[in-house]
Structure 1
Amino acid sequence: MGKVLAVCKSEKKGTQKINIESGFFKEGFGLEGDAHGGDWHRQVSLISGDKIRAFNEKGAGVLPGAFGENIIVEGIDFRELPVGTRLTCGEVILEMTQIGKECHTHCQIYQKVGDCIMPREGVFARVLHSGTIAVGDEMEIAAGLEKMSLRAAVITLSDKGAAGEREDKSGPAIAGRLKEAGYEVIEEILIPDEEALLKKELIRLCDQRFPHLILTTGGTGFAPRDMTPEATLAVADKEAQGVAEAIRYASMQITRKAMLSRGRAVIRKKTLIVNLPGSPKACMESMDAFMNTIEHGLELLQGIGGECGSPVN
């Protein structure tokens, strides 16, 4: 259990937030009147008061809102909680959606003391139920609420698609299939066949948004710009060869050209990344090979579920 130390708001982006001590958090938006509210996954930012106190002991002297945070809470180390954790504060229910953030430009705090804790200690959440949060309120890590769905992201690699020269049909088809299977699709991304760009997106998703599954489509063949497997291997902690082998085996029963696919399946942190071919038909055929089995593997990645050889009750 934690205690709210500050509720901070800024009415314009690019301006420092100030402690308003009490605010209304609106479902599907965030803190009412805050410039960073909206229909997206980073509606509310939170940081631990304990982390700010330790930072100020270095001589930083930061005030509430200086890191761009909406809520400061003492007694909860948000950085240690997994994405998907639900927090309650009075009537308000928040769900964590991202841990940390990429720092594009060094802020005034960094310029002063050579460090800033928000990129590594701050977390973000969306508002699931509206209500007021005020200084002194107690915040709890929720238990017994609706079971969190598996989270997935879809990345389409296509030069023509990213340039608007061709409609992307594979990405939406994959996302639709995932949703039908009960997944929450947190992001659908369309980018050109650029190895560096794909690596950047995979790292961002795995290290900040923590989906259980990422499916890529495109860039797995023999063409000079087909670099999806190389980018995927570059960010991997380890391979999941069986998934890629199952896809190729199943596809070979349909067409011998499946042997030309170089798609990989790897694990980064607690996320499984699987490369799929570029066409919608081939994507669906590939998903047929693993969709009924993969959930068990995703549970094992999260540290839940039994061993593969456990008897089924």
Structure 2
Amino acid sequence: MEATGAITGVIKALCISEARGTAKHTVSSVRCLAGHGLEGDAHAGNWHRQVSLLSDEQVQAFNAAGGAAQPGDFGENILACGIDFSALPVDTLLMAGEVVLKLTQIGKECHRHCQIFRRVGDCIMPREGVFATVEHGGELRPGMVMTAQLPAADALLRAAVMTLSDKGAAGQRQDTSGPRAAELLAAAGYEIVEQVLLPDAQRQIEQELKRLADSRQVDLIITTGGTGFSLRDVTPEATLAVATRLAPGIAEAIRVESLKITRRAMLSRGVSVLRNSTLIVNLPGSKKAVEEALAIILPELEHGLRILRGTARECGRA
């Protein structure tokens, strides 16, 4: 598949830190290890944030306001000029020499303030930094050209599954609804980006929905559980709290068709909404209900998601 566009920049600095929680320092060259990250960097590993990148233009703007930041101060591994990383979509390929990185996350939540934040009261990494995995390894050096290749228009749709269960999150029960949803989505051709298990805590659910939609930029989030009448069932409330638009027809279709199977389907409070370019659909917490609901909606979802992504047209006739 051909890319829909390419942007070129230059690597200005490479930075690593041998231990987490310590400032990164510049190096004259570094090896990228496929599926791991930068050799010698404490943040490398088997996860989706193997390499962090930041645009030098953002650092210069920060310094113009009195920041006095040096390469590595924001915890970035790669500082490059000419590419606005935070404006790129997830799944963009970043290529320099033999190295190929795949962008996996835009920005991040700052749990602990870094040294530069404590010094000047601001840090641009949470809003301007991006993260990537190493798809193909090789050596990187400052001065190398880096090219950003945007994802193809027909790239796989990306999904995340979030299971909401107090007992499941506490390890008191093995939940099967979330894993089953992931299996069915994968079988339908979706790339499963993450599976998350959380307790029925509204604020935590909201934060994870925002992270998956905004930073991971998934096309679809399926939630399972927390849609009933129990006082701990707050999934619909959390979903509505993060919505930018409503998409009620999906939840309505699930209830209408499920009523043909069990009259108790009327007791489900699940909702379906949009958060910017991500569709969020609440499903009940049982494996059987998940199977039934996905059988109802999966055949129609791809068309709507590609319209949302901007790669398909509305179905009305000219």
TM range (shorter): over 0.9
Paired residue for 2:209, among 202, 222, 241? 202
- Tell me which of 219, 229, 233 is aligned to 1:226: 233
RMSD between aligned residues: 1.5
What whole-Å deviation, never above 9, does each CA across 1:255-294 have from its counterpart, x for those lacking one? Answer: 1111111110000011100000110010010001111110
Give the Cα–Cα distance (whole angstroms) in 2 for the partners of residues 70 and 38 of structure 1: 14
Q: Which residue of 1 aligns with 2:40?
A: 33
Runs of 4+ with deviation above 4 angstroms: 143-147
SS at match of 2:298: coil
Residue pair 2:268, 2:284 contacting (<8 A) in 1 also: yes
Structure 2 stretches of 5 or more lacking a match?
A: 1-7
Choose the corresponding residue for 2:72, options 59, 65, 69.
65
For 1:107 and 1:90, how far apart are their aligned partners in 2? 32
* Equivalent position amino acid for 1:9 in 2: I
Match of 2:132 among 111, 116, 125: 125
Determine which of 2, 11, 14 is the counterpart of 2:18: 11
Match of 2:271 among 257, 264, 271: 264
Matches of 1:73 and 1:5, distance apart in 2 = 5
Q: Which residue of 2 aligns with 1:162?
A: 169
Gaps of 5+ in 1: none
| 1:107 counterpart = 2:90 | no
Q: 1:241: how far off?
A: 0.7
Shift, 1:146, TM fit: 10
SS of residue paired to 1:103: coil
What TM-score comes out, normalization by structure 1 length?
0.96
Cα distance in 1, alignment partners of residues 151 and 133 from structure 2 = 19
1:273 to 280, 304, 307: 280
1:189-239 deviations in whole A, cap 9, x for unaligned? 111111111111111211211111000001111122111111110110111
Structure 1 residues 119-168: Cα deviation after superposition (integer angstroms, max 9, x where no partner): 10000001111111110100111268796321111111111111111111
2:48 aligns to what SS in structure 1?
coil
- Correspondence for 2:296: 289
Q: Does 1:179 align with 2:186?
A: yes
TM-score norm. by structure 2 comes to 0.94
Q: Indicate the residue corresponding to 1:53 in structure 2.
A: 60
Rounded to whole Å, the distance in 1 between the matches of 2:258 and 2:227 is 14
Structure 1 position 59, deviation (Å): 2.1
Check the 8 A contact 2:169/2:199 in 1, yes or no: yes
Q: Counterparts of 1:306 and 1:32 in 2: how far apart (Å)?
A: 45
Comparing 258-267 and 248-257, the one that deviates more: 248-257
Counting matched residue pairs gives 311
Determine the C-alpha separation between the residues in 2 that align with 1:143 and 1:84. Answer: 7
